[in-house]
C-alpha cells in the first residue's frame, strides 16, 4: 500500500471537501447519540460484518500461499470477532466510532497481519478465465446493435449483470474523458465494465480505469486489471478492433472494497484532474460510499443493492439497481 504521504484528495471533489464530502453514505450515528454506547445502526452493521466471518475464515483456510492456513484462519476469526465485540461495547475503541470504512479496514488489517494477502485469489482467477473466454461474444452482440442509444443501454444492462434498467438519455455519457472506479473481478469488470469502456473508446473518449492497489475480497486489483486487458488485446494492441491508445489503467491507492476519495494515489489524481465524467461502479464504491458525493464534473454512481440494511436505508428492495447521474451545469 502506498505511504500516507503519497495519498491525496481526488481532485474532482467539490470544495471545500471538509464540508461537502463524507465517504460513507449511511450514518451509523448522529451527534446527539451517546458516544460510549453503540447505536442500533452500529449494532446492525457490526452484526453484519460478524456474520461474514465464517465465509472469510473458509476462504482463508484454503489459501495455499500461507503456511498453516487453517490455524491462522481460526486466529483471524477469533481476533476479528473480538474486535467487533469491543466496538459493540465501546464504539470509540479501535479507532471508532465505526463506519463501513473502518469495519472493512480492521478486517483487512487482521488478515494481513496473519499473512493472508489475497484469500479470494483462486476464485478471482477462475472467474476471470471464464469471463475472458466470453468477452469476444459479448462484444460482438453489442456491436451488432446498430442504434447507438440502444447499444449503450445494453452495455449498462451488462454492468448490472442482466438486471433490467431503462437508460434515460444515452447522450449523457458521451464525454471526452471518463474516470471509472472498477469493482469486482470476473464477469463484473470483463463482461460489464470493459465492453462499456470499449464503446466509449470507439466514440473518441479517453478512459481511465482505476483499480485497487491491494487485494480486498474479490475486487480486481491494478496488476490483475493490467494482466486481464493484455490477454484481451490482439497482436496490434486493439480490443476487438478498437484502438486502446486512449485507455489508461491507474492504481487508485485503495485497499478496501469501499473507498474514501480524500485518499487516492497521486497517479490517479493527476490522470483525473481534467475529467468530464466520474463513474463509481459497485455497491461498495458507488452506494455504501460516495452515493451522495458531489463532484466538479458530471458523475454516475451505478451498482446493485446486496445488503438488506442498505436497501432499508434507501427505501428499496434487496437486489434493486441504482443508477444515479448528477450533471454539473455551466
Domain termination residue (choose one: 114, 131, 152): 114
- Write out the residue range of the structural domain in which residue 48 sits: 40-114
Supply the CATH number for residue 205's domain.
3.40.50.10880
Determine the Cα–Cα distance for residues 277 and 205; give it in Å rounded to an integer: 10
Q: How many CB atoms lie within 10 A of CB 71?
A: 12
Q: Does residue 10 lie in a domain region?
A: no
Domains held by the chain: number: 2
Domain termination residue (choose one: 92, 114, 136): 114
Phi, psi dihedrals of residue 63, rounded to the nearest 5°? -80, 105
pLDDT one-digit tens code per residue, 250-281: 999 999 999 999 999 999 999 999 999 999 99
pLDDT one-digit tens code per residue, 194-223: 999 999 999 999 999 999 999 999 999 999
The pLDDT assigned to 162 comes to 31
Scanning the structure block, which residue is given the C-alpha cell 437486489?
319
The pLDDT assigned to 225 comes to 98
* Sequence-separated (6 or more) residues with CB below 8 Å from residue 162: none
Q: Which long-range contacts (CB under 8 A, 24 or more apart) does 38-47 make?
A: 38/87, 38/88, 38/89, 38/91, 39/91, 42/87, 42/88, 42/91, 42/97, 42/98, 43/88, 44/309, 45/98, 45/100, 45/103, 45/309, 46/84, 46/87, 46/88, 46/98, 46/103
pLDDT one-digit tens code per residue, 128-152: 999 999 999 999 999 999 998 899 8
Q: 291 and 194 share a domain? A: yes
The pLDDT assigned to 62 comes to 96
Amino acid at each position: 500500500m502506498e505511504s500516507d504521504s503519497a495519498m491525496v484528495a481526488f481532485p474532482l471533489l467539490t470544495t471545500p471537501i471538509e464540508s461537502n464530502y463524507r465517504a460513507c453514505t449511511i450514518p451509523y450515528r448522529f451527534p446527539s447519540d451517546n458516544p460510549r454506547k453503540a447505536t442500533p445502526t452500529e449494532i446492525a452493521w457490526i452484526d453484519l460484518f460478524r456474520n461474514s466471518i465464517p465465509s472469510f475464515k473458509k476462504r482463508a483456510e484454503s489459501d495455499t500461499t500461507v503456511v498453516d492456513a487453517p490455524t491462522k484462519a481460526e486466529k483471524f476469526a477469533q481476533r476479528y470477532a473480538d474486535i467487533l465485540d469491543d466496538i459493540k461495547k465501546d464504539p470509540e475503541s479501535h479507532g471508532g466510532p465505526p463506519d463501513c470504512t473502518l469495519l472493512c479496514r480492521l478486517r483487512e488489517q487482521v488478515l494481513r497481519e496473519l499473512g493472508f494477502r489475497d484469500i479470494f485469489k483462486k476464485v478471482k482467477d477462475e472467474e476471470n478465465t471464464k469471463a475472458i473466454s466470453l468477452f469476444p461474444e459479448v462484444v460482438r452482440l453489442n456491436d451488432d446493435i446498430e442504434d447507438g442509444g440502444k447499444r449503450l443501454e445494453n452495455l449498462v444492462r451488462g454492468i448490472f449483470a442482466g438486471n433490467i434498467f431503462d437508460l434515460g438519455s444515452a447522450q449523457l455519457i458521451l464525454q471526452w474523458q471518463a474516470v471509472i472506479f472498477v469493482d469486482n473481478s470476473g464477469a463484473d469488470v470483463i463482461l460489464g465494465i470493459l465492453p462499456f469502456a470499449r464503446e466509449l473508446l470507439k466514440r473518441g473518449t479517453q478512459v481511465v480505469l482505476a483499480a485497487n492497489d491491494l487485494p480486498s475480497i474479490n475486487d480486481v486489483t491494478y496488476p490483475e486489471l493490467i494482466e486481464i486487458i493484455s490477454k484481451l488485446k490482439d497482436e496490434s494492441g486493439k480490443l476487438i478492433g478498437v484502438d486502446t491508445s486512449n485507455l489508461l489503467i491507474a492504481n487508485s491507492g485503495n485497499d478496501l472494497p469501499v473507498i474514501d476519495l480524500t485518499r487516492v494515489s497521486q497517479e490517479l489524481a493527476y490522470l483525473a484532474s481534467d475529467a468530464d465524467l466520474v463513474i463509481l461502479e459497485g455497491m461498495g464504491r458507488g452506494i455504501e460510499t460516495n452515493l451522495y458525493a458531489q463532484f466538479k464534473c458530471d458523475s454516475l454512481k451505478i451498482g446493485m443493492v446486496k445488503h438488506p440494511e442498505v436497501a432499508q436505508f434507501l427505501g428499496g428492495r434487496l437486489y434493486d439497481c441504482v443508477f444515479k447521474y448528477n450533471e454539473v451545469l455551466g
